Chain A
Amino acid sequence: MENTFVKASKRIGYTLLGLFLAFVVYANLEPAPMHSYVKPISMTIFKVDGLTNLEQVNSVKEKVSLHSGVTACGANPVSELVSITFDPDQTSEGSLRKLVSNITGKPVQAAVFKTDGPPSPQCPVPQEYIQAFEKVKYALCFR
């Protein structure tokens, strides 16, 4: 009985080791893409009712872009939206919301998107799964 257990454990161990080594080889077949060397970003989009003045829109873009951790800021007077890409290690959605509110002097809400057109097709595999797989792959890439 004990002998069978040891044999089974060894087989499972060798199989897992083999799979791991195969994955390491797969991860090293080609170098990691350049985007894996760029710091990842986060994004937030705010709806600012009354942000229809082009001068104010440009002022928001300029001031928000100067904030530490912000990599880009877009704003549009038609949609009244302010979109910000940022480094989550340096700033947060909460502090950016306060910042936009202070600059505009208007209430800032979460953006809600409505459209009448046909919906776009979506990838059946959640992006989080694909990115988690890629992260492990690039972590094991030594090229």
Chain B
Amino acid sequence: MTSQRVLTGEHFINGDEACTEGALAAGCNFFAGYPITPATEVAEAMSRRLPKLDGTYVQMEDEIASIAAVLGAAWGGAKSMTSTSGPGFSLMMENIGLGVITETPCVVVNIQRGGPSTGLPTTCGQGDIMQARWGSHGHYEIIAISPSSPQEMFDFTIRAFNLAETFRIPVLIMADEVVGHTLERVTIPPAEKIKVVNRKKPSKPPEKYLPYKTDSSLIPVLPDAGDGYKIHMTGLTHDERGYPVPDAQTQEVLITRLINKIRNNRDAIIDYEKHFLDGAKIIIVTYGSSVRPALKAMRDLRDDGLKVGLLKLNTIWPFAEDLIRKLAKKVKAFVVPEVNFGQIALEVERCASGQALTKLIHHAGGGIHTPQQITNAVQKILPEIGSKRKRK
């Protein structure tokens, strides 16, 4: 096994392994996980690669311990990651909340599968999207990324680490079993071409330093354990010193800052790809493994003369509200194929505010849509939006 961190070159690997390679290219040096289909390959690849790179791989006793160890390692200065699927994701929720309130950078990968409960362990699902947003108790904002191919698993994992280090928050990678298990060509560029962001460290001496006092970016600059600052981190609502203060005023100040830290910076976080949106009357909004059949469906519908465009969401949280609101004024309908019974569709509908029809193409899980299913669904809504099916 190589001790080279960035395996520059062409590879034929699946999405899980590509995710591992992306993490390593971003500087990941700590992984704590627990086996769960379909995310196990991420852990297995990490267990092979990390020891040769002087990193630490440890298999913990459950997912709760995994996310705890990941946060603990991040406090010590490591770039840490864990990977799981639905059942483990549910277990991790409490500690993800701790990561949010202590503002700890780390990456959590969820290779979604059919749910709820044990569900369909070996096949696709996209049912955890809302859970990624609201899964932990209390009100907070989160960053979630949705790769749609093994190449994007590599690229987006690097971005996830960079976002975590910049915004000091756990970043969720919401992949799914199809993306995770697809074997495809992945191109890994030379290490010099990969942009890696590291967390800022405090410049003030300990006596003059307040851990959670921020500038206008609202992002704190926190030291690592052992840097000599003797910080106190707690899950209790805390003030600028990091000490617990149990009152409404402190809560207002802290939670407002945590929420605005993401909301105010959403332009730097939100990422999407536009396909033929100009002049489109119908826009397919899609993410994850639903992207490929949707792209084919879009091409087929356009060949048929329909003005159909596609919006590929590369980040799902924060949601691209501003863009949807803008597009809703120009289009007749949004069509949302997703492997659930309507999660991003709800967001699209909310932002469309009735100005455009929002049509969900659901899938209960266990696979993904076929392009035909998507084209049929679009054809069906044409009468509703007063569009006649044109023929070339």
Task: Tell me whether A and B are bound partners.
Answer: no
Residues of B within 8 A of A (CB): none
